[in-house]
Amino acid sequence: MMTISAVIPAYNSADFIADAIDSILKQTHPVTEIIVVDDGSVDNTEQVVQCFPDHVRYYKQVNQGPSAARNQGIKMADGEWIAFLDADDQWTPDKIEKQLATLAQYPELQLIAGDMAEIDDQNEPLTPSVLAKHLLLQGFQALHGQPVPKALAALINKNFIPTGTVLVRRDVVLAAGLFNESIRFGEDLELWAKIAARHAITCLPEILMLRRLHGNNATQLTGRMLADLVKVMQSLRYAIPAELKHQGLSPDRLVANSYVDLGYWYFSVNDYGKARAALRSSLRAAINRRAALYLLSACLPPGLVAGIKSIKQALTHH
pLDDT tens for the chain, 318 residues: list them: 799 999 999 999 999 999 999 999 999 999 999 999 999 999 999 999 999 987 899 999 999 999 999 999 999 999 999 999 999 999 999 999 999 999 999 999 999 999 999 998 888 889 999 999 999 999 999 999 999 999 999 999 999 999 999 999 999 999 999 999 999 999 999 999 999 999 999 999 999 999 998 765 444 578 899 999 999 999 999 999 999 999 999 999 999 999 999 999 999 898 999 999 999 999 999 999 999 999 998 888 877 767 777 777 777 766
How many whole angstroms separate alpha carbon 187 and alpha carbon 166?
14
The predicted structure's pLDDT at residue 304 = 76
The predicted structure's pLDDT at residue 219 = 44
* CATH number for region 4-217: 3.90.550.10
Distances (CA, A) of 282 to 18, 226, 258: 46, 13, 8
Q: Report which of 19, 8, 150, 31 is spatially closest to residue 85, judged by C-alpha positions.
A: 8
Domain ranges in the chain? 4-217, 222-317
The predicted structure's pLDDT at residue 300 = 87
The predicted structure's pLDDT at residue 217 = 45
The predicted structure's pLDDT at residue 317 = 67
SS3 251: helix
How many whole angstroms separate alpha carbon 12 and alpha carbon 307?
47
The CA angle 251-204-238, to the nearest 5 degrees, is 15
The predicted structure's pLDDT at residue 218 = 41
Q: Report which of 101, 222, 105, 204 is spatially closest to residue 162, judged by C-alpha positions.
A: 204
Which DSSP symbol is given to 212? E
For residues 82-115, b (16+ Cβ closer than 10 Å) or e, as one string? bbbbbbbbbbbebbbebbbebbeeeeebbbbbbb
How many whole angstroms separate alpha carbon 162 and alpha carbon 203?
9
Q: Show Cβ contacts of residue 175 under 8 Å, excluding neighbours closer than 6 positions.
A: none
